[in-house]
Amino acid sequence: MSKPEQPKEHSRFLQFQSVPYGTKDADGNLILNRFSSTITNGRDFPAAQAMLFAAGVKDDAQMRSAPHVGVSSVWWEGNPWYLGKTVKEGLEKNGMIGWQFNTIGVRMRFSLQSRDIIADSIETWDANISIPGCDKNMPGCVMAMARHNRPSLMVYGGSIKPGYSERLGMPINVASCFEGHGAVMYGKWSAEDLDEVVKKACPGPGSCGGMYTANTMATAIEAMGLTLPGSSTTLADSAAKRRECLRAAEAIKVCLEKDIKPRDLITKASLENALVSTIVMGGSTNAVLHFLAIAHSADIDLTLEDFQRVSDKTPMLADLKPSGKYVVADLAEIGGFPSILKFLIHVGLINGDIPTVTGKTLRENVANAPVLDPQQDMIRPLSNPIKETGHIRILRGNLAPGGAVAKITGKEGRRFTGKAWVFDREEDLIAKLQNRDIDPEESVVLCVRYEGPVGGPGMPEMLKSSGALLGAGLRNVALITDGRYSGGHITPEAQVGGPIAILQDGDMVTIDAETNEINMDITDAEISERLSKWKAPKLKINRGTLGKYARLVGDASHGAVTDMF
Under the banding of pLDDT at 50, 70 and 90, the label for residue 485 is: confident
Contact 143, 221 (CB under 8 A): no
Contact 379, 346 (CB under 8 A): no
Distance between CA atoms of 253 and 255, rounded to whole angstroms? 5
Task: Give the helix ranges, DSSP H, for 281-378.
Answer: 286-297, 304-313, 328-331, 336-346, 362-365
Q: What is the rounded average pLDDT for all residues in the chain?
A: 90
Strands 392-395 and 170-172: unpaired
pLDDT digits (tens, 9 = 90+) for 444-458: 999 999 999 999 999
Task: Please report the pLDDT score of residue 421 as a whole number.
Answer: 95
Q: Mean pLDDT across the stretch 37-65? A: 86
Q: Mean pLDDT across the stretch 381-399? A: 96
Under the banding of pLDDT at 50, 70 and 90, the label for residue 335 is: very high
In the 8-state DSSP scheme, what is residue 2? Answer: P
List the 517-520 sheet strands across, edge first: 477-481, 444-448, 415-423, 508-512, 517-520
Q: Mean pLDDT across the stretch 174-186? A: 85
Higher pLDDT: 432 or 361? It is: 361
Per mean pLDDT, which range of 74-83, 110-119, 429-438 is the poorest?
Answer: 74-83
* Residues labelled catalytic: 486
> Domain spanning 393-558 has what CATH number?
3.50.30.80
Contact 64, 31 (CB under 8 A): no
SS3 457: coil
Under the banding of pLDDT at 50, 70 and 90, the label for residue 14 is: very low
Contact 244, 231 (CB under 8 A): yes
Distance between CA atoms of 247 and 190, rounded to whole angstroms? 47
CB atoms within 10 A of CB 427: 11
In the 8-state DSSP scheme, what is residue 77? Answer: T
pTM: 0.91
Contact 113, 140 (CB under 8 A): no
Higher pLDDT: 135 or 197? It is: 197
Distance between CA atoms of 527 and 157, rounded to whole angstroms? 47
The one-letter amino acid code at 565 reads F
Task: Please report the pLDDT score of residue 17 as a whole number.
Answer: 54
Tally of residues, the chain: 565
pLDDT digits (tens, 9 = 90+) for 220-252: 999 999 999 999 999 998 999 999 999 999 999
Element (H, E) at 332: none
The one-letter amino acid code at 408 reads I
Under the banding of pLDDT at 50, 70 and 90, the label for residue 132 is: very high
Task: Please report the pLDDT score of residue 82 as a whole number.
Answer: 67
Q: Closest Cα to residue 489, out of 425, 556, 552, 422? A: 556
pLDDT digits (tens, 9 = 90+) for 70-110: 899 887 665 545 688 899 999 999 999 999 888 887 666 67
| Domain boundaries, given as residue ranges, for the chain | 8-65, 68-160+207-365, 163-200, 393-558
Per mean pLDDT, which range of 136-140, 262-266, 384-388, 483-487 is the poorest?
Answer: 483-487
Task: Please report the pLDDT score of residue 18 as a whole number.
Answer: 57
Under the banding of pLDDT at 50, 70 and 90, the label for residue 5 is: very low
556 contact partners, CB below 8 Å, separation of at least 6: 289, 405, 452, 453, 459, 482, 489, 491, 493
In the 8-state DSSP scheme, what is residue 154? Answer: E
Kindly give the interhelix angle for 111-121 and 137-148, rounded to the nearest 10 degrees. 30
The one-letter amino acid code at 396 reads R
pLDDT digits (tens, 9 = 90+) for 306-328: 999 999 999 999 999 988 999 99
Instruction: Round the CA-based radius of gyration of the chain to a whole number and report it.
Output: 25
Above 60 in pLDDT, residue 213?
yes
21 contact partners, CB below 8 Å, separation of at least 6: 31, 32, 34, 151, 255, 256, 257, 258, 259, 261
Q: Closest Cα to residue 34, out of 47, 51, 52, 16? A: 16
27 contact partners, CB below 8 Å, separation of at least 6: none
- Give percent of the chain above pLDDT 70: 93
- In 104-188 the beta strands, taken as DSSP E runs, fall at 127-131, 152-154, 163-165, 170-172
Q: How many helices (H) and strands (E) does the chain have?
A: 22, 14
Above 80 in pLDDT, residue 57?
yes
Task: Return the top range by mean pLDDT from 42-51, 134-143, 268-277.
Answer: 268-277
Task: Please report the pLDDT score of residue 3 as a whole number.
Answer: 45
CB atoms within 10 A of CB 45: 15
